[in-house]
Amino acid sequence: MKRRWYPLALLLALALSLTACQVEFIPHGQPENNGSTTIDTPPLPGGDNDPVDVTDPVGGDEDPSGGNTDYTMEKYRRYLSGQWIAVEGEVEGDRYKMEEVGMTVTLEFQEADGVTEDGRGTWSMGAWYEYTNKYGDYEKLDGLSVKFLEGPMYYGCGNDEWYAELVGGPENVEYTVTVIDNNYLEMHRHVEDSYVVWVVYCERADGQWIED
């Protein structure tokens, strides 16, 4: 299938809030005109006039993802583990190369295991997210909890077995991820009450290939 590439010039509004452990930038959701193509950038939580509500990740210095004694979904951690680098993005069907528009997205997933007070084994996973663009805008989310869910992330998704939600970021913003064919990560960023979904396509930073 041939891909149709649209030239993009994403102008993202700066919304920086400083806390003790993170700096947040949430791209706004106003249309940007790029000659013959108009796109929507990822929307700002609470609208353009409301301040961004930034909270520390759930759990503080403790294990951000808690512990899970149900091992049904544990097997999927191996597909997420490690660092991922975004290579392409998409807004409302307009797909573009991240390098060409001056954007970067890095995702890192780490596994954690432990034991409960009653001696049962537990497993968990944490995530770290970082975004930059050529205008100096920046978003960083540390120690997100990774919640695995059964089924496809969306209708027609190439992975119909599982996906994961990244929990503990800004309010009203949902981050979900899945891995296609074991080696291609797809992330969706969606703001509550908005129809716009920002899609990011990533490859493994180390170039490793997982075979079943």
* pLDDT per residue as tens digits for the range 150-186: 999 999 999 999 999 999 999 999 999 999 998 899 9
What's the confidence (pLDDT) of residue 177?
A: 97
Is residue 75 pLDDT above 50, yes or no? yes
Quick one: pLDDT band at residue 70, thresholds 50, 70, 90? low
Residue with the two structure tokens 């961004």? 52
The answer, yes or no, to whether residue 127 has pLDDT greater than 50, is yes
Q: What is the DSSP letter of 54?
A: -
Place 116 in a pLDDT band, splitting at 50, 70 and 90. Answer: low
Q: What is the pLDDT of residue 71?
A: 61
User: In angstroms, rounded to a whole number, what is the distance separating the alpha carbons of residues 170 and 153?
Assistant: 20
Average pLDDT of the chain? 74
Whether 163 and 152 have beta carbons less than 8 Å apart is answered as: yes
Return all residues near 151 (Cβ < 8 A) that are at least 6 apart: 160, 161, 162, 163
Q: How many residues does the chain have?
A: 212
d(CA 153, CA 68): 21
The CA–CA distances, whole Å, from 113 to 66, 110, 120, 124, 194 equal 10, 10, 11, 6, 36
Domain boundaries, the chain: 16-54+72-204
- Tell me what percent of the residues of the chain surpass a pLDDT of 90: 50
Would you put residue 148 in left (φ > 0), alpha (ψ -120 to 50) or beta?
beta
Report the SS3 class of residue 36. coil
Helices of type H across the chain? 77-80, 98-101
| pTM to 2 decimal places | 0.68
The fold of the 16-54+72-204 domain, in CATH, is Lipocalin (2.40.128)
Q: Whose structure tokens read 């060409």? A: 100
Q: In whole angstroms, what is the distance from residue 151 CA to residue 134 CA?
A: 36
136-152 tens-digit pLDDT: 999 999 999 999 999 99
